[in-house]
Amino acid sequence: MYMLEQFRKMSEQELDKEIERVREHYENEELSELYRKAADYEIRTYEEMKSELRYLDRRYQDDMMERGRHVCDGEFCDFFIDCLNDAEKHSSLQLHAIEWCKIRGVL
């Protein structure tokens, strides 16, 4: 409740910056950590990875709601789950994750 009160006191511009900061955190740190775990075999299957992405999406939604922003279910991670569905037909999760990490400069 305290955090919500803090965010209500922010100007619209400050809140927009905060929203962008949180989104970047999820995209650059949280998502990268999941892909690193998959590349290192800590996450072993596509189903486990999709489950982790859904959980990450729920955390993202909660963080946005704390800041007074409503986001749709799956807004953050649906694209990545779709990519996993395509990759699942062609390669292992670990190879897909390694390639993703290389492209993003995470490994």
Q: Read off the pLDDT band of 1 (50, 70, 90).
A: very low
Among the listed residues 58, 64, 62, the one whose alpha carbon sits nearest the alpha carbon of residue 16:
64
* Residue 76: DSSP 8-state: T
Contact between 84 and 96 under an 8 Å Cβ cutoff? The reply is yes
Taking only the tens place, the pLDDT of each residue in 63-101 is 888 888 887 777 889 999 999 999 999 999 999 999 999
Nearest Cα neighbor of 59 from 14, 25, 8 is: 25
| pLDDT grade for 51, boundaries at 50, 70 and 90 | very high
Q: How far is CA 59 from the centre of its chain?
A: 9
Q: What is the pLDDT of residue 15?
A: 76
pLDDT, one tens digit per residue, over 24-37 is 999 899 999 999 99
Residue 96's H or E segment, with its range, is: helix 93-104
Residue 65 has a pLDDT of: 86
